[in-house]
Structure 1
Amino acid sequence: MASLSSTTIPSVTVPLAATPLFKRANPALSLDERTEITYQRARAISRAYKLTAQDVVFLRPKFWQLHTDQISPMDGAATTLITIQYNLAAGTLAPFAFKRADLQPLLKQIMDFDVSAQFLLSEVGHGLDSPNLETTATLLPSGEFDLNTPSPSAAKWMPPTAPKGGMPRVAIVIARLMVNGENRGVRPFVVALGDGQQMCKGITSKVLPTRAGAKPVDHALTYFDHVRLPAQALLGSLDMPQDLRQNFLSVIWRVGVGSLALSTLSITALKASVYVAGRYSIRRTVTGADGAPMPIIAFRTQQLPIFHTLAQVFVLEAYAKSAAEQFISPNIDPRVRHGIAATLKAVMLQHCQSSLYSLAERCGAQGLFEHNQIIESQLEMRGVAIAEGDVLALCIRLASELLIGRYEMPAPADPTSLLARHEAGLFDEARQVVANLGEGHRSEGFNRLILPLCQPLIEAIGHRMAYEAAVKAKVNPDLIALYVAGVVKYDASWYIEYLGLGRRAIHEMEDRALTVALPHLEDLLEETGARPYCIAPIVSDESWEGFVQSLPHFGGDASMQLIPGTMAQTAGSPYETPISRL
């Protein structure tokens, strides 16, 4: 089978993955010690890439490569810090720094990771409705600003802001600009949070418990108690914008970039996890009918999730590159640009969550342990599904706007393909529901009958786009066929009802594609490029033996009598039990 991966140049992080810094952390370390390792890893990855501000602002290839680097599953928390640092904080600051010399030293510190930079937008009471955020920055007669958290619901939510990581911390804080009592919309402000040892005066960080299964990072609630900011802290104008909504979108433009960039982490999670599950399935044996050991990969039920994931890996890799090219096009409608990001995110996370669950399950009890990487990636990707735009919310907004005709997504290259016909069929059905309602998109009927359809609608667009990108990129046709078969199974009833595909025909489509790909399993696993980043003990006999030797072990000379009266008895005197007396 021809080479399938488009990644021919080894990543700059391959040597880094082999260093002691990226070895499995000792679970006996304290939370603070493990958090410190997370920051060290984030800094090491960042410095290996040497991104420039131009790479970030103009979305050059190196920016996308950072987000698809396979070192990401080794420490999802480090990746969180990196994407906040560069995409959100540096990406927001840099366009202003290009025009303001006073901001350039700070930008350089952020790009060099000499400081930890955060982006504070969402609040406890304002996530999806962040345009209604409460944090205020009030212009004072001196030209300074008073930054304040007016209520508990206005606490900034999630970004790591505590004095951790041993470096100074700054933030881009999104707040309502208040001038003479007038709300002039949101603006970004540069705020010093702490010197690495303690918080700055008037700022409080309350560190949240660690997320389930995730590497530790100091997610926090952050409060401002009338913090005085210099006039230079404002990024932008004091003037009232003509359109408050457009102003909000322009201020948080990097969130849209993050929707696309963070979603591509799905590819790295899938690669690492399928490599672990695939290698384990080749290595793990059961006793066959003839008494000989038989690898569990011989079972179709083991092959199916592994090969479907491999097909997704190579198809989604092509899709991500195609989507990034469309996203950065200067001629694209900004609404379509956001639609491309939302669509990619919907499909990436759909495949990632379902496949990681199946892969972990096929590893049995081994799949439950985070040291085997799969379930850890699954839980990390739960966070990605929410970060930079909740998937469902993005789908509802996009599908609603498409159904009421505000704009259109790129049309299918081949309207006759199975996936294009599925997309068209779902939209025809939804449009008929809208027409029958005869009400606006904010009506109760729309809420009841259309909102539940929105995510499948957007996923259908994404499936078609992924397929077309893979065809254009010349991904192996057998893997494309297997990908299509897997997507058809998501909504088999539609294909049966509208295209006349029988259930048996769908299974045969899947069977043919998998049978052709099966002999190439080992090659496909290596094509993922995941080997240098795989630290799961279950991938080989050697790594498993080393893992077992590293475990805490206990021994001793204790002796216990568990059942009284079971010691030696006199011949002819059977011990009487409650049962014998019945």
Structure 2
Amino acid sequence: MQALIDVVYANRFTELHADIRNTLRADIFDFREGLTDNQACQLSYQRVRFLRDRLNIPGDVARTPMRLFALLEWSALLDPTANALLSIHYGLCLGTLCIHGNNQPELDQYTRELESMSSFGVYLVTELGYGNNASALETEADYDPRSNEFILNTPRPRAAKFMPNATFLEGIPKLGIAMAKLKINGKDEGVFPFIVRLTDSAGPCRNIQITPLPHKPGHHLDNAITVFSQKRVPRANFVPGTHGTLNPNGEFNSSISRRQRFLQSVNALLLGRIGLTSGLVSCARASLVIALKYSIQRHSFAPGRNDVPLIQYRSQQRELFSQLAATYSMTSLMNNVKSRYAMMQNEPSEDLEEFISVAKAIASWSSSETIHICRERCGAQGMFAINRIADYVGAAQTVITAEGDNLVILSIAAGSLLQHRTPRPSTPEPGQLNDPRSMYDLLSYREESLRWEIRDKYGQALLDTRERLDAWNDNLNPALDMARTYGSRTALGSFLDDISTVTHPDANSALTLLATVYGLNEIAKDSGWYLAHGVLTADQVLSISRTLDELCVQILPYIPLLIEGFALPNSVLRTAIADDYLSYYTRYGGMTAQR
């Protein structure tokens, strides 16, 4: 139904998504059985080049982020490794050049290589010793004014770049954006991007050691450990953007702090963070399409009946419909994030950065849960790669860790959220469990109550002259709860805003039911807290499970409609079980039905 497609794709399906979906029907995206890790990796690079050529993707697609996000959402469905490559190549590597290249003509040769994919982009930030604390990176870039070059060096083992896809592959040269400390006459000026050639047609470039990492189940990216040994790069390969200048004599000037310089240097990570998360939410939508369609076809025993479709069981409904509600909510949340990012002027605000971080954590955790539950609800069929969901499990673990580990970025965002100055919350009246607006109000009350409670306790701990780390540690888990509640409340609010624009009565009713299920499930996770604070009664807490079952009964007739809203036909997904799975296996096994 178009009304639901408009919600899922923010009224831009034809403009941004339709041609990408059609391109994925090409034979190159057919499922391949029995590939080695190396063969699967090589195929992913081929698929990325195919997408570039067929869709005519411009090198500066990061300047039109909504198109890049659409590309990442669809590529994730058929090849999670290709999805990661697209994010790194266009979002991180070329994205850094777009954002910080500052029209430097010396960088044009590299941009042309990356645009044509005669070389692939790599992004080297994380080190063995430092991950999310990237401002503490130890890779050094010493400026030598005599040669007008930088000397990139890995001073100790813990400074080795960990996990970039830098492995030498024949026919796939690599160019990397390496984050390193700028050192001028021994003075550390902070972390900046440098572009460096990593591999060429003959192998790793001189003074660069690249060691492939071991097998990662479900993901075939050619990750490696990369070490620089007095690697010289031209001064023109320094990419400071507008937040620093370096003249040939080695005089560095900047009008902003080291911290600000660092945050601006790595703001391409925000683009990658949104893109990877949107891709995983897309995988959650696909998992639900597959699991729900299979549940409609697959029959099982039933008391007093010969058999019934699995979807008739309340246990199957509760599991899958709850995930359907969560995924529609996460879709609205990420559409909100993407829109705010695309509309920002110049550098992202602190509010936007914390919003992106919370959304990344909340949406990727939710999508991971959805994918796992869909795999289980498909039984043995969910274990086969042809049915896609098993590959999405590995993709989920990658996204939860990539572009900022969820727990770490959520804790940083929580510290920022605590600084928001809001009125002390007043206790709301117990709401109605079948009203999503009441659920939104309860989530808001919990968020604000936790914020005030933590601020009071943290402030008192500091006044008691305790160590700042100890004071924060004692309040860290409650702060994470507050940030999660903020994320859930924002997701539900985004979903309700989208529902308010839907005029088709069936679509509006179906989405409102889902919003109620999502809100009620979020309240149920902390029902004891709400009971203790007097905003839910004991009878209400006891009735949550029954209310969810009743909502499932109402949602069941709308399931075909809600699946249609994802615009994911099996002609794109190519699974064995999302259409007529019995016919598929009959053909697969060469069986002939007996009369």
| Structure 1: tracts of 5 or more residues without a match | 551-582
4+ runs deviating over 4 angstroms: 406-409, 439-442, 546-550
Distance across 2 between alignment mates of 1:146 and 1:333: 31
Q: C-alpha separation between the residues in 1 aligned to 2:541 and 2:366? A: 22
Show CA shifts across 1:108-148 (max 9, x none).
33233332001111111111222111111111121112111
Gap change, CA 1:15 and 1:495, over 3 Å in 2? same
2:478 paired residue among 453, 473, 476: 453
Query: Alpha carbons of 1:332 and 1:79: their partners in 2 closer, same or farther (altered >3 Å)?
Result: closer
**1:541 partnered with 2:582:** yes
CA contact (8 A) 1:336 1:407 kept: no
Secondary structure at 2:203 match in 1: coil
CA contact (8 A) 1:96 1:103 kept: no
Give the equivalent residue in structure 1 for 2:564: 526
Q: Answer yes or no: is the 8 Å Cα contact 1:213–1:380 preserved in 2.
A: yes
Cα deviation per residue 1:32-90 (whole Å; 9 max; x = unaligned)? 22211011112223444434355413x44212222322x31311111111000011101
Q: How far apart, CA to CA, are the structure 2 residues paired with 1:205 and 1:104?
A: 26
TM-score normalised by structure 1 residue count:
0.87
Alpha-carbon shift at residue 97 of structure 1 (Å): 4.0
Residue 65 (1) aligns with residue 70 (2): yes
The answer on 1:313 being equivalent to 2:327 is yes
How far residue 270 of structure 1 moved from its aligned partner, in angstroms, is 0.7
Q: Which of 472, 487, 497 is equivalent to 1:472?
A: 497
**Which position in structure 2 is the counterpart of 1:554?**
none
Could you tell me how far 1:153 is from its partner in structure 2? Answer: 1.1
**Counterparts of 1:406-555 in structure 2 under 5 Å?**
417-439=441-463, 443-474=468-499, 476-498=511-533, 499-501=535-537, 502-531=540-569, 532-539=571-578, 540-548=581-589
Q: 1:408 Cα deviation (Å)?
A: 7.8
Relative distance call for 1:355 and 1:148 in structure 2 (3 A) is: same
Distance in 1 of aligned mates of 2:471 and 2:302: 56
Residue identity in the other structure for 2:582: D
1:98 shift after superposition: 5.0
Letter in 1 for 2:543: A
Contact kept in structure 1, 2:365 and 2:400, CA below 8 Å: no
Paired with 1:340 and 1:48, the residues of 2 have a C-alpha distance of: 34
Which residue of 1 is the match for residue 203 of structure 2? 198
Seen in structure 2, the aligned counterparts of structure 1 residues 547 and 488 have a Cα distance that, compared at 3 Å, is: farther
Mark the CA change 1:197 to 1:486 in structure 2 (over 3 Å): closer, same or farther: farther
CA distances 1:211-266 after superposition (whole Å, capped 9, x unpaired): 1222x121110111111211211112331544211111111111122222222123
Question: Which of 395, 413, 434 does residue 398 from structure 1 map onto?
Answer: 413
Counterpart residue type for residue 477 of structure 2: P
What does 1:128-143 align with in structure 2 at a 5 Å threshold?
A: 128-140=132-144, 141-143=146-148
Equivalences for residues 66-465 of structure 1 within 5 A: 66-69=71-74, 71-140=75-144, 141-164=146-169, 166-214=171-219, 216-236=220-240, 237-238=245-246, 239-241=252-254, 242-327=256-341, 328-330=343-345, 334-403=349-418, 405=419, 417-439=441-463, 443-465=468-490
In 2, Cα distance between equivalents of 1:441 and 1:219 = 43
**Alpha-carbon distance, 1:407 to partner:** 7.0
Amino acid at match of 2:493: E
AA partner of residue 341 (structure 1)? I
Matched-pair contact (CA < 8 Å) for 1:147–1:229: yes
Judge conservation of contact 1:46–1:82 (CA < 8 Å) in 2. Answer: no
Say which of 15, 24, 32 aligns to 2:22: 15
Contact 2:76 2:280 in 1 (8 A): no
Shift of 1:445: 3.6
The number of residues matched between the two structures is 543
Cα distance change of structure 1 residues 298 and 339 upon mapping to structure 2, 3 Å threshold: same
Q: Identity over aligned residues, as a percent?
A: 24
- Contact kept? 1:287, 1:294, Cα under 8 Å: yes
Contact 2:101 2:239 in 1 (8 A): no
C-alpha displacement of 1:194: 1.4
Closer/same/farther in 2, CA of residues 331 and 32 from structure 1, 3 Å limit: closer
CA distance in 1, matches of 2:155, 2:40: 34
